[in-house]
Amino acid sequence: MNIISQIGDTPLIYLKEVSELTSCDIYGKAEFLNPGLSVKDRAALSIIENAERRGDLKKGGTIVEGTAGNTGIGIALVANAKGYNVKIIIPDTQSQEKFDTLIALGVELIKVPAVPFSDPNNYQHVARRIAEEEIKTNPNGAIFADQWNNLDNMMAHYTTTGPEILSQTNNQVDGFICSVGTGGTLSGVSRYLREKKTDIQIGIADPKGAAMYNFFQNNRVEPSSGNSISEGIGLGRVTPIIEEIDKVDYCYSIKDSDALHYIYNLVKNEGIILGGSSAINIAGAVNLAKDMGKGKTIVTILCDHGSRYQSKIYNQKFLAEKDLPIPEWLKN
């Protein structure tokens, strides 16, 4: 057994409060229990093993990626276990906990100012340029993981997350909903479930300021108003992975202040500590349950562990600065 074999096959957790609230059975796929504490371990493993299979990555080679953090952590743990080097390009606004984990894993960490995707200095463009240079010059070879465009990301969820959800619900799943960072999870899971259950209903839970709500609801690539403190989600453009999604049945644009209380209640009443994107997902699952009606089985994704955000959504000062509700037990 090695650590890589512990990626995936995560439990499906019954979410009591929101199930009772909606008279549906709402389950969360516990991706925060992956070894890197997030859903992105699956994408990292798929991208690396497919590159190996194609012969693009050989022992001692380097993997370059632009990431909000979790993909980098997933890549680093798989790479360390397999003998590759890692270069991570990350916006400097991500949580200190993610930087610390990447540093602990021994990656080369390149922090860049957070600028919009339209700016050539956006971390994703910087990562591509560094990867192109590395591919040209590294004698041991290199790859650009390229999670937004690389369909191996989506395939991780088509071949693992989707089948696990179907079997863990005994084929009884009626609805699936999640947010979009790259869209790998939504695209891969929804494609698999649609193939196996023609009446499955697919939802998207989009944070404020992202463009996927308008894209799937109104066929316009336009950001919703407002913004979100959630990390790892909120896509502003249509990528090859998004193009793979042929239809979304229910679209929701979700405010942080309408979502965070779900994860605080999960901490206090159900013993689960999650990050902010899981809050958006659970709020989406509640909306989907209400719209589909009582008695349905709805699944969403519990994307990453809350320990990644102790200095943010579990910190009174941060919440006060952002004018967000502060849970009682975090007040002092």
Q: Would residue 40 show up in a list of annotated catalytic residues for this protein?
A: yes
Distances (CA, A) of 115 to 58, 93, 121, 212: 33, 10, 7, 19
Measured from the CB atom, is 39 or 77 closer to ligand PMP? Answer: 39
Judged by CB under 6 A, the residue of 134, 146, 174, 304 near ligand PMP is 304
By CB under 6 A, is residue 277 in contact with ligand PMP?
yes
Beta strands in 21-174 (DSSP E): 25-30, 62-66, 85-91, 108-112, 142-144
Site string for ligand PMP, 59-88 (x = CB under 6 A): ---------x-x------------------
Choosing from 40, 98, 296, 312, which is the catalytic residue?
40
Residue 289 corresponds to which tokens in the numbers above? Answer: 């349950």
Determine the straight-line distance between the first and last CA of the chain, rounded to whole angstroms. 45
CA-based max dimension of the chain: 59
Q: How far is the CB of 180 from ligand PMP (least distance, A)?
A: 5
Site string for ligand PMP, 165-204 (x = CB under 6 A): --------------xxxxxxx-------------------
Listed residue (12, 9, 8, 303) closest to 170, CA to CA: 12
Contact predicate 326/319, CB 8 Å: yes
By CB under 6 A, is residue 39 in contact with ligand PMP?
yes
Collapsing DSSP states into helix, strand and coil, what is residue 81?
helix
Measured from the CB atom, is 31 or 174 closer to ligand PMP? Answer: 31
Near ligand PMP by CB under 6 A, which window of 77-85, 86-94, 124-132, 227-235?
227-235
Collapsing DSSP states into helix, strand and coil, what is residue 153?
helix
Measured from the CB atom, is 223 or 232 closer to ligand PMP? Answer: 232
Q: How far is the CB of 313 from ligand PMP (least distance, A)?
A: 11
On the CB side of 3, CA atoms within 13 Å amount to: 16
Measured from the CB atom, is 61 or 161 closer to ligand PMP? Answer: 161
Near ligand PMP by CB under 6 A, which window of 11-19, 36-44, 112-120, 250-258?
36-44
* Helix 70-82 × helix 96-104 angle, to 10°: 10
Contact predicate 242/153, CB 8 Å: no
Near ligand PMP by CB under 6 A, which window of 73-81, 112-120, 164-172, 230-238?
230-238
CA distance 73 to 56: 21
Q: How many residues bind ligand PMP (CB under 6 A)?
A: 19
Give the footprint of ligand PMP on this chain (CB under 6 A).
38-40, 68, 70, 179-185, 231-233, 275, 277, 303-304
Q: So which residues are the catalytic ones?
A: 40
